[in-house]
Structure 1
Amino acid sequence: MMTKRFSGTAPEADEYRLFTLRNASDMVATITERDAALWSWRAPDRYGRMADVLLAPKGASNPVLWQGRHADGGVTLLRVGAGGAVAQLAKYRLDDDGCLSVEHELVAMAPTPLDQGACPTFNLNGGIADVGDHMVQIDADYYVEVDADGMPSGVAAVAGTAFDFRQPAPIGARLRWPDSQICGRGGFNHSLFVRSHFAGGQGPLRTVARIVDPGSGRCLQVRTTEAAVQFRAGHQGGFSVESQARPELASAAWPHVIVSPGQVYRQTTVYRLTLQA
């Protein structure tokens, strides 16, 4: 465990701790109390060269509100909101098969907008180039369109659009599509509804995305219990696939999910980092 300083916060709030997880393949994942975020993840490429496949988190919404500790072979972080209105847990575990599991649990004592914490931004080549040649596959038939202000405006089929990642496609080529949903917006920042055998809500853990960097051979698989993912690319030189709850579109709160008093929200995401043959 290490302590780092984060400049730009109040003096009493400028220290946070880092917790390290290591597996049998010498992968090393570091988790920070700052937003309960994944800070770094060092892993080998096809030649055995180690590199960090994450871009460091930028900014922090509440950088001293989380308290972490090593527990049960992983790392557990706890956040309690002002007045005890919300309690939130984040649990990280790194397995020997390259699976980094992230479990979130939130209990609300008052109506609370769902905040799942910081989402990791990846660059599988270790930052030696951009992610333009990363091949992306996302098991989704529909995506959420956004208006000029970036707010959700409706749902559209991915077929025939830049959002059709049902078959692997390179990020860079898709960013160059003459699509009004991408042009002028800096790239992808959209929610996609993943295929599943259930209608809405949470379900069993299943693979919803696969991203491959041909140069390094690193392959990232994303598994989730959620019914949607937020795909971001073209921002900060990396990409992210964030598990998301899928609210009813008729809800006045859409696109937000409100956790009701006494309700317990649970979510699991598993990132598996392997090497492509």
Structure 2
Amino acid sequence: MSDTEKGFTAPTLLVQDFRQTMGGKLTDLFFLQNDNGVLAAITNYGARLVGLWVPDKNGDLRDVVIGFGQVQGFAEGEDTYFGATVGRYANRIAHGKFELNGQEYTLATNNGPNHLHGGDTGFSRVVWEAEQPDAQTLTLTYTSAHLEEGYPGELKVTVRYTLTNQDELKIDYTATTDRPTVVNLTNHAYFNLNGEGSGAILNHKLQINADKYNPVDSSLIPTGTESVAGTPFDFREATTIGARIKDQNQQLKFGQGYDHNYVLNGGKGEDLKKAATVVGNESGIVMEVFTQEPGLQFYSGNFMDGSHTLKSGAKDDFRTAFCLETQHFPDSPNQPAFPSTVLKPGQTYNTTTVHKFSAK
């Protein structure tokens, strides 16, 4: 990857650093580029977004997604989920158990007492089949076997990344199953709109279109639904991420910051709705998130600890990135009041999320 026309030097990503054989399949690196020069890098290892270069207020490209410069970084050690497609069930399932049609299923407890992001391997540590029909589209497919990670049903999953000429990164998810199962897919990109390695994200301004959120217990399992009014979780008006993050609030203590699902206004529907808007305080980069999903997990990078070196050479220091994961609610299989995540044979799981970029 060479310097861009506008003078910003992108970190060098070499395709050969992403080509390895894992589980008998070849990992690789793919680039998408639109007519405006916006660039996305994606690997089929975990169907991960590796980097995303968008123009700032001066027209210079900045990489707003953190990630590694080689596939081994994603494969080694505990999964950071940087940029990953997570499933079969994104977020947590209490005690790694759920019941479906009178039968109990047992999953890995890989996050304290709970199941997180699909288990020990999930979708983030497998090699997906990749097809790139044009310069702006990448289609990734994976078939999850019956009882893989404990989930019932053979699940055939497709994730399609599209980089539009409106400077949108569009992610379309589809899935079908041969037995009743539960499905909740998302992308776990970590964003810093000032650019990877630019420091903490606490001065980013965030607005979330949600009147309610899901408070959690000490293991981060939802305990119900409550209003955001009068709490540090009220982002209905644009507010800096760091404005209230140190408030004496039990929910912030449980999450060690923000790590909660927001109940988006409008619920789940066929139409895309705006879930959130974020503005980078230094770059002027604006990211709008649109989704068909009913929920949005806002995570403020509370467990980032500087133990990884990113593609820019910077460390993943404390709160130097945030996540906005469009999703169904955590622990829905065990909470009938939440929107259902059950997928049955003959049905198609189909959902779209769009990240739209501009600058001001």
Q: Same fold (TM over 0.5)?
A: yes
1:142 is matched with 212
Quote how far apart the aligned CAs of 1:50 are. 2.5
Alignment partner of 1:34 out of 42, 45, 48:
45
Q: Is the 8 Å Cα contact of residues 194 and 285 (structure 2) preserved in structure 1?
A: yes
Quote how far apart the aligned CAs of 1:204 are. 0.6
Assess, with a 3 A threshold, how the Cα gap between structure 1 residues 129 and 253 changes in structure 2: closer, same or farther: same
2:326 is the counterpart of 1:243? yes
Separation in structure 1 between the aligned mates of residue 328 and residue 254 of structure 2, nearest angstrom: 27
2:143 is matched with 80
2:102 is matched with none
Quote how far apart the aligned CAs of 1:258 are. 2.8
Q: Is the 8 Å Cα contact of residues 188 and 232 (structure 1) preserved in structure 2?
A: yes
Quote how far apart the aligned CAs of 1:81 are. 1.6
Alignment partner of 1:2 out of 4, 15, 22:
15
Assess, with a 3 A threshold, how the Cα gap between structure 1 residues 123 and 6 changes in structure 2: closer, same or farther: farther
Separation in structure 1 between the aligned mates of residue 339 and residue 167 of structure 2, nearest angstrom: 33
Quote how far apart the aligned CAs of 1:271 are. 0.1
1:180 is matched with 250
Supply the AA of the counterpart residue of 1:161: T
Assess, with a 3 A threshold, how the Cα gap between structure 1 residues 111 and 145 changes in structure 2: closer, same or farther: same
Q: Is the 8 Å Cα contact of residues 65 and 80 (structure 1) preserved in structure 2?
A: no
2:306 is the counterpart of 1:222? no
2:97 is matched with none
Alignment partner of 2:237 out of 155, 167, 171:
167
Supply the AA of the counterpart residue of 2:50: W
Report the aligned-residue RMSD. 2.7
Supply the AA of the counterpart residue of 1:96: N
Alignment partner of 1:261 out of 345, 349, 352:
345
Q: Is the 8 Å Cα contact of residues 16 and 64 (structure 1) preserved in structure 2?
A: no
Separation in structure 1 between the aligned mates of residue 24 and residue 299 of structure 2, nearest angstrom: 30
Supply the AA of the counterpart residue of 1:271: H
1:44 is matched with 55
Deviates more, 1:138-147 or 1:75-84: 75-84
1:129 is matched with 199
Assess, with a 3 A threshold, how the Cα gap between structure 1 residues 269 and 181 changes in structure 2: closer, same or farther: same
1:61 is matched with 122
Between structures 1 and 2, the one with greater strand share: 1
Separation in structure 1 between the aligned mates of residue 258 and residue 25 of structure 2, nearest angstrom: 32
Separation in structure 2 between the aligned mates of residue 12 and residue 250 of structure 1, nearest angstrom: 33
Assess, with a 3 A threshold, how the Cα gap between structure 1 residues 219 and 13 changes in structure 2: closer, same or farther: farther
The percent of aligned pairs where both chains have the same amino acid is 30
Q: Is the 8 Å Cα contact of residues 138 and 166 (structure 1) preserved in structure 2?
A: yes
Separation in structure 2 between the aligned mates of residue 54 and residue 159 of structure 1, nearest angstrom: 31
1:47-85 Cα offsets, whole Å, 9 max, x none, are 233221111163563433411111254110001122681
Separation in structure 1 between the aligned mates of residue 36 and residue 47 of structure 2, nearest angstrom: 24
Quote how far apart the aligned CAs of 1:230 are. 1.0
1:202 is matched with 269
Quote how far apart the aligned CAs of 1:24 are. 2.2
Alignment partner of 1:105 out of 137, 153, 174:
174
Q: Is the 8 Å Cα contact of residues 79 and 89 (structure 1) preserved in structure 2?
A: yes
Supply the AA of the counterpart residue of 1:273: F
Separation in structure 2 between the aligned mates of residue 131 and residue 32 of structure 1, nearest angstrom: 25
Assess, with a 3 A threshold, how the Cα gap between structure 1 residues 145 and 201 changes in structure 2: closer, same or farther: same
Supply the AA of the counterpart residue of 1:245: H
Alignment partner of 2:27 out of 5, 8, 16:
16
How many residue pairs are counted as aligned between the two chains? 271
Assess, with a 3 A threshold, how the Cα gap between structure 1 residues 208 and 181 changes in structure 2: closer, same or farther: same
Quote how far apart the aligned CAs of 1:45 are. 1.7
2:301 is matched with 234
Supply the AA of the counterpart residue of 1:76: T
Quote how far apart the aligned CAs of 1:16 are. 1.3
Deviates more, 1:149-158 or 1:39-48: 39-48
Separation in structure 2 between the aligned mates of residue 3 and residue 68 of structure 1, nearest angstrom: 16
Deviates more, 1:134-143 or 1:82-91: 82-91
Assess, with a 3 A threshold, how the Cα gap between structure 1 residues 115 and 17 changes in structure 2: closer, same or farther: farther
Separation in structure 1 between the aligned mates of residue 255 and residue 24 of structure 2, nearest angstrom: 34
Separation in structure 2 between the aligned mates of residue 106 and residue 249 of structure 1, nearest angstrom: 18
